[in-house]
Amino acid sequence: MPPTVDAVIVGAGFSGMYLLHKMREQGLTAVVFEAGTGVGGTWYWNRYPGARVDVESLAYSYSFSEDLEQEYPWQERYPTQPEILKYANHVADRFDLRKDIVFRTRVTSAAWSEEDKAWLIRTEHEDAVSARFFVMATGCLSAPKLPEIPGIETFKGTSYQTSRWPHEKIDFTGQRVGIIGTGSSGVQSIPVIAETADDLTVFQRTPSYSLPARNRPLRPDEIAQMRENYRAFRQEQRKAAPACRSRCRPNRPSKCRTTNATPRTRPRGKAAAW
């Protein structure tokens, strides 16, 4: 690891890997520090039963490489955590990103030197790197937080947290299980754990509004159609506030917008989309 680089990036998730690739393209040197043993960010850490993304796979992907778009074989409409992690590893290997990623390493301090016009970043292993740019690609929900429940620290049973799920498979057969929370991870894990647990109780503060995912394997014809229209689709993504678009957008963008519908046709359009 060089003592001086143009940029230090923290986190080897989707944004950290893209930043590394982009900086290389611009002729900059960079090093990425990652606490885990592999790339993938949230998809490396969140391995709980039922984990999957709620954005269609053909949209939940990098747009910087047309070759990557055309070649990667997505399997499901809404991919599971293992499939997304496989994609992240494919990207890391295809663009040779690992050589500039330091795994099993956390950043412990960063200090700006006005005299040198550079950051001095230190890690838990006492590495010290100087960089002009210091970029946090750690994500907005990367720090796990246990619920503040009296007695949780003395609980004698086995406990797990979805954001730090073990890499090995957990067998809930014959177990009494309690799940706290019905956010995304709770909604996804509850039905899967219930398949084998002897008894499952859900502790919920606020109900979530959930819809059937209508997940299924992708058909060859829709994969081909999406690949043919990827550029138009990406343009629509860039215009969207959440950067998400359904796959109706590339061919009929104007007809997919609620604001372009009349009060009479709007319910019909929503029903057709659903």
Q: Judging by beta carbons within 10 Å of its beta carbon (0-12, 13-18, 19+), is residue 130 exposed, middle or buried?
A: middle
Residue 62 neighbours by CB under 8 Å, 6+ apart: 14, 18, 68, 69, 91
Total domain count for the chain? Answer: 2
Answer yes or no: is 224 within a domain. Answer: no
- Which pLDDT belongs to residue 243? 63
Tell me: the pLDDT tens digits for 67-102?
999 999 999 999 999 999 999 999 999 999 999 999
Q: Provide the total of helices (H) and of strands (E) in the chain, helices listed first.
A: 8, 8
Q: Is residue 193 part of a domain?
A: no
Q: What pLDDT does 244 receive? A: 66
Give the model's pLDDT for residue 257. Answer: 66
pLDDT in tens, 228-241: 999 998 888 888 77
Residues in the chain with pLDDT values less than 70: 242-258
254 and 132 together in one domain: no
- Which backbone phi and psi does 21 adopt, to 5 degrees? -60, -45
Whole-number pLDDT of residue 239: 82
Give CA 269 to chain center in angstroms: 30
**Residues of the domain holding 112:** 4-136
- Predicted confidence at residue 256, as pLDDT, reads 55
> Does residue 200 lie in a domain region?
no
The amino acid present at 13, given as its one-letter code, is G
Give how far Cα 130 sits from Cα of 3, 25, 27, 58, 61, Å: 6, 21, 17, 38, 32
**Beta bridge mates, 31:** 8
Domain boundary among 115, 136, 157: 136
Helix axes 230-239, 220-228, angle to 10 degrees: 70
| Residue 155 placed within a domain | no
Residue 111 per-residue DSSP state = E
In this structure, what CATH number is given to the domain that contains residue 119?
3.50.50.60
Question: Hey, what are 128's tokens?
Answer: 């010290």
How far is Cα 117 from Cα 101, in angstroms, rounded to an integer? Answer: 24
Q: Is residue 188 part of a domain?
A: no
Residue 111 lies in a domain: yes
Nearest CA to 19 out of 1, 34, 4, 36 is that of 34
**Hey, is 101 helix, strand or coil?**
strand
Bridge partners of 30, per DSSP, are 7
Q: Is residue 163, in this structure, part of any structural domain at all?
A: no
Looking at residue 245, its pLDDT comes to 60
The answer for residues whose C-beta is within 8 angstroms of residue 30's C-beta and 6 or more apart is: 5, 6, 7, 8, 9, 19, 20, 23, 24, 100
Identify the domain boundary among 136, 171, 195.
Answer: 136
8 and 123 inside one domain: yes
Is residue 195 assigned to a domain?
no
Evaluate whether 149 touches 174 at the Cβ level (below 8 Å).
no
Strand 30-33 to 4-10 pairing: parallel
Q: Among 78, 107, 136, give the residue marking a domain's end.
A: 136
User: Under DSSP, is residue 152 helix (H, G, I), strand (E, B) or coil?
Assistant: helix
